[in-house]
């Protein structure tokens, strides 16, 4: 299922609120923001000084030409002075422009750093119900591409807005105070540009939203392809995957083209309006010069000012694009950051205190989709204590793994209560609960690091002896000893360089190191041969005396020595007892036991039958 922030828009706020939120994030770095804004103001003032210097230079040169006693030396001195002032203003403008560009980028990157950490921290705290519905590729897109859009808003949006505001605001005051009509003509393009900017922003916002969602689709396709690359190669589906990725990329390219065309068209129209205004200034100003109502220097000042505005006007399209992108990507990013985990520590939650490791389920019911969905568990009750073991068996979808997920509070029960030593698991801290209740899953995840680090993942500072003892208990030490680098051998991504049984044994070693109060083996020996499983079970007998153990398995041989076995079907317990009593009952457990025994007999007799047929 694809995650959408549409249902969070009201809580997040409108575009103005999103942009203001980004500004507040920038203001965490007040010193750098102050330097960036101050440098922008100074650079703008030096830039505005250039038209005035040019105007004064023109009037001064014309004055010298009209003076009969003017000497060549005086003219050169005047020109040199004007040139020096212009050069100095330009150098200082360039220097302060460098400072504000650098500081703007610095603030953006530091804000992105803060957001990146906050986003990753949020993903660690969000509940499994969220991760069940969100594709990894979608989250990666939000945490990288959307975050980048927010980061760039500082330099391409805020700093540029300050510069443009100062240039137009101060420049407008100077021009209007010199000549009201020419000043109005010089600024006549501004209302039109503002209107076009608003229209363009609305279009660009919609296009940015569609483009970011399309990039999320591309991320999902790539993530699935790389994760399942072995399946793709095994079925020769490379061309199909290329076509699927190409289709998504084409759709993204089409949106990108529309966005570029919208921005370029808007910038072109705004530039055209600017040149019309400049032409009017030249025409009206020329007439006033001829009438003697305006000096040539004043007209030069007007034209020079408009020339300075030409670049900001052209950049106005980039400014509008930056605002549109920031409001869109900010909304998508904050939609995740503002989520509250459905599973969290309750107010006043205390650490779990272990006494007897007594796990008790009392009439527990649960539905993954809420009250309106069919229950995964219904009225389940059992208990298991330290030194005892419970076996859980049932057909696929009967709710076996759900029992494990509820005990570790990956989800909360819909009804009933789960306690450990009389403490409701919802009333203790998650950290203490998950330190004491550990699960070895059927499909263990291994990190791209050494075997040693994978085994010691729960206790990175464990002694080497503890790591080797855990590996020996899981019957994986002999295999590790055959590797050239031993425990330092690097595991491939997701453990692809290991067999399923080897990965399961490393997961068992990882859990056995931590000595939990409750140990859940969720079909964790499914990929291990019966002989190795028997050896692991014998070695686990001693650690199992210090914890309550729950075995979840399809293979009844794993459950033979459990103190109690429950048979689940449709989320309900339909049978319970020891292995012998359940077989004697002749019910569902007995049928499954007979079926597995028959399959084992058929497998054992298979080679002989084939040999007889061949003879």
What would the mean pLDDT of 523-549 be, rounded to a whole number?
A: 75
pLDDT above 60 (res 380): yes
- Taking a C-beta distance cutoff of 8 angstroms, is the pair 211, 259 a contact? yes
pLDDT above 70 (res 312): no
Weakest mean pLDDT among 54-68, 274-288, 360-374, 423-437: 54-68
**pTM attached to this predicted model:** 0.74
Say how far apart CA 170 and CA 101 lie, in whole Å. 21
Q: How confident is the model at residue 424, as a pLDDT?
A: 94
- Taking a C-beta distance cutoff of 8 angstroms, is the pair 35, 67 a contact? no
3-state secondary structure 1-33: CCCCCHHHHHHHCCHHHHHHHHHHHHHHHHHHH
Say how far apart CA 18 and CA 538 lie, in whole Å. 60
- Cα 282–chain centre separation: 53
Work out the mean pLDDT of the chain and round it to a whole number. 81
pLDDT band (50, 70, 90) for residue 59: low
Q: How confident is the model at residue 555, as a pLDDT?
A: 77
Q: How many CB atoms lie within 10 A of CB 309?
A: 24
Say what percent of the chain tops pLDDT 90.
Answer: 16
* 219: exposed, middle or buried (Cβ count in 10 Å: 0-12, 13-18, 19+): buried
Better-predicted residue by pLDDT, 66 or 240: 240
- Structural domains in the chain? 15-337 (1.20.1560.10), 359-577 (3.40.50.300)
Q: How confident is the model at residue 611, as a pLDDT?
A: 41
Better-predicted residue by pLDDT, 278 or 355: 355
pLDDT band (50, 70, 90) for residue 421: very high
Q: Where are the beta strands (DSSP E) in 538-593?
A: 548-552, 564-569, 572-577
Q: What is the DSSP letter of 380?
A: E
pLDDT above 80 (res 90): yes
What would the mean pLDDT of 179-183 be, rounded to a whole number?
A: 82
What would the mean pLDDT of 527-549 be, rounded to a whole number?
A: 75
pLDDT above 60 (res 260): yes
pLDDT band (50, 70, 90) for residue 4: very low
pLDDT above 60 (res 474): yes
Per-residue pLDDT reduced to its tens digit, 331-363: 889 988 988 888 889 898 999 999 989 999 999
Q: How confident is the model at residue 615, as a pLDDT?
A: 34
Q: How confident is the model at residue 2, as a pLDDT?
A: 42
pLDDT above 80 (res 209): no
The alpha carbon dihedral of 485, 487, 488, 492 has a sign of positive
What would the mean pLDDT of 411-424 be, rounded to a whole number?
A: 93
Weakest mean pLDDT among 96-100, 195-199, 531-535: 531-535
Q: Which residues 6+ apart lie within 8 Å of 100 measured at CB?
A: 35, 36, 37, 39, 40, 43, 159, 163
Q: How confident is the model at residue 613, as a pLDDT?
A: 37
pLDDT above 90 (res 566): yes
Burial 235-249, CB ≥16 within 10 A → b, else e: eeeeeebeeeeeebe
Q: How confident is the model at residue 48, as a pLDDT?
A: 80
Q: How confident is the model at residue 135, as a pLDDT?
A: 76
- Using the structure block, give the residue that is written with the tokens 């949006």: 157
Q: How many CB atoms lie within 10 A of CB 286?
A: 13
Say what percent of the chain tops pLDDT 70.
Answer: 87
pLDDT band (50, 70, 90) for residue 295: confident
- Taking a C-beta distance cutoff of 8 angstroms, is the pair 523, 357 a contact? no
What would the mean pLDDT of 536-561 be, rounded to a whole number?
A: 81
Per-residue pLDDT reduced to its tens digit, 445-468: 888 888 888 888 888 888 888 889
Crossing angle, helix 15-26 and helix 72-125, to 10 degrees? 100
- Taking a C-beta distance cutoff of 8 angstroms, is the pair 576, 564 a contact? yes
What would the mean pLDDT of 469-492 be, rounded to a whole number?
A: 85
Q: Which residues 6+ apart lie within 8 Å of 252 measured at CB?
A: 211, 214, 215, 217, 218
Better-predicted residue by pLDDT, 402 or 48: 402
Say how far apart CA 218 and CA 144 lie, in whole Å. 13
Question: Containing H/E element for 526?
Answer: none
Better-predicted residue by pLDDT, 433 or 612: 433
Say how far apart CA 405 and CA 433 lie, in whole Å. 12
Per-residue pLDDT reduced to its tens digit, 123-160: 888 888 787 777 777 788 888 888 888 898 888 888 88
pLDDT above 60 (res 599): yes
Q: How confident is the model at residue 567, as a pLDDT?
A: 93
Q: How confident is the model at residue 608, as a pLDDT?
A: 44
pLDDT band (50, 70, 90) for residue 114: very high
pLDDT above 80 (res 242): yes
Weakest mean pLDDT among 85-89, 205-209, 227-231, 485-489: 227-231
pLDDT above 50 (res 609): no
**Which of 278-282, 345-349, 513-517 has the largest mean confidence?**
345-349
Say how far apart CA 410 and CA 42 lie, in whole Å. 56
């Amino acid at each position: 299922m694809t995650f959408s922030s549409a249902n969070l828009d009201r809580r997040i706020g409108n575009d103005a609120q999103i942009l203001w939120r980004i500004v507040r994030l920038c203001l965490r770095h007040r010193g750098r923001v102050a330097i960036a804004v101050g440098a922008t103001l100074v650079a703008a003032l030096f830039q505005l000084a250039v038209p005035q210097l040019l105007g004064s230079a023109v009037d001064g040169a014309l004055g010298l030409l009209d003076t009969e006693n003017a000497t060549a030396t005086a003219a050169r001195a005047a020109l040199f002075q004007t040139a020096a002032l212009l050069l100095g203003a330009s150098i200082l403008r360039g220097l302060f422009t460098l400072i504000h560009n650098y500081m703007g980028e610095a603030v953006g990157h530091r804000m992105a750093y803060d957001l990146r950490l906050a986003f990753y921290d949020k993903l660690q705290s969000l509940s499994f119900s969220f991760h069940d519905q969100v594709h990894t590729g979608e989250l990666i897109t939000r945490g990288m591409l959307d975050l980048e859009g927010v980061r760039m808003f500082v330099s391409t949006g805020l700093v540029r807005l300050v510069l443009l505001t100062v240039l137009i605001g101060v420049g407008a005051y100077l021009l209007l105070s010199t000549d009201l009509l020419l000043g109005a003509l010089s600024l006549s393009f501004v209302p039109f540009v503002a209107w076009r900017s608003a229209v363009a922003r609305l279009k660009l916002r919609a296009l940015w939203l569609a483009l970011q969602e399309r990039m999320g689709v591309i991320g999902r396709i790539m993530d699935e392809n790389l994760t399942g690359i072995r399946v793709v190669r095994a079925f020769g589906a490379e061309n199909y995957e290329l076509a699927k990725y190409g289709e998504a990329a084409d759709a993204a390219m089409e949106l990108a083209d529309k966005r570029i065309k919208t921005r370029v068209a808007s910038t072109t129209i705004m530039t055209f309006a600017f040149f019309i205004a400049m032409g009017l200034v030249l025409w009206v100003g020329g007439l006033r010069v001829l009438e003697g109502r305006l000096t040539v220097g004043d007209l030069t000042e007007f034209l020079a000012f408009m020339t300075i505005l030409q670049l900001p006007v052209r950049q106005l399209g980039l400014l509008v694009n930056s605002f549109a992108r920031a409001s869109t990507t900010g909304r998508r990013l904050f939609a995740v950051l503002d989520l509250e985990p459905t599973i969290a520590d309750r107010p006043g939650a205390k650490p779990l205190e272990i006494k007897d490791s007594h796990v008790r389920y009392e009439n527990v019911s649960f539905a993954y989709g809420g009250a309106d969905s069919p229950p995964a568990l219904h009225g389940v009750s059992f208990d298991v204590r330290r030194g005892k073991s419970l076996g859980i068996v049932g057909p696929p979808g009967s709710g076996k793994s759900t029992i494990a997920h509820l005990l570790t509070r990956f989800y909360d029960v819909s009804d009933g209560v789960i306690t450990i030593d009389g403490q409701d698991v919802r009333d203790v801290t998650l950290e203490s609960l998950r330190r004491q209740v550990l699960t070895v899953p059927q499909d263990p995840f291994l990190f791209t690091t050494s075997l040693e680090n994978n085994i010691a993942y729960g206790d990175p500072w464990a002694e080497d002896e503890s790591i080797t003892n855990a590996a020996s208990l899981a019957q994986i030490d002999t295999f590790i000893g055959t590797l050239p680098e031993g425990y330092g051998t690097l595991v491939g991504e997701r453990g692809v360089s290991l067999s399923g049984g080897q990965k399961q044994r490393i997961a068992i070693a990882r859990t056995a190191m931590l000595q939990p109060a409750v140990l859940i083996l969720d079909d964790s020996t499914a990929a291990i041969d019966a002989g190795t499983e028997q050896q692991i079970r014998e070695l686990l007998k001693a650690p199992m005396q210090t914890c309550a153990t729950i075995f979840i398995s399809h293979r009844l041989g794993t459950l033979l020595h459990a103190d109690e076995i429950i048979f689940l079907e449709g989320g309900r317990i339909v049978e319970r007892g020891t292995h012998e009593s359940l077989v004697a009952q002749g019910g569902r457990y007995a049928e499954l036991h007979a079926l597995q025994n028959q399959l084992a007999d058929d497998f054992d007799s298979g080679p002989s039958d084939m040999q007889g047929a061949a003879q």
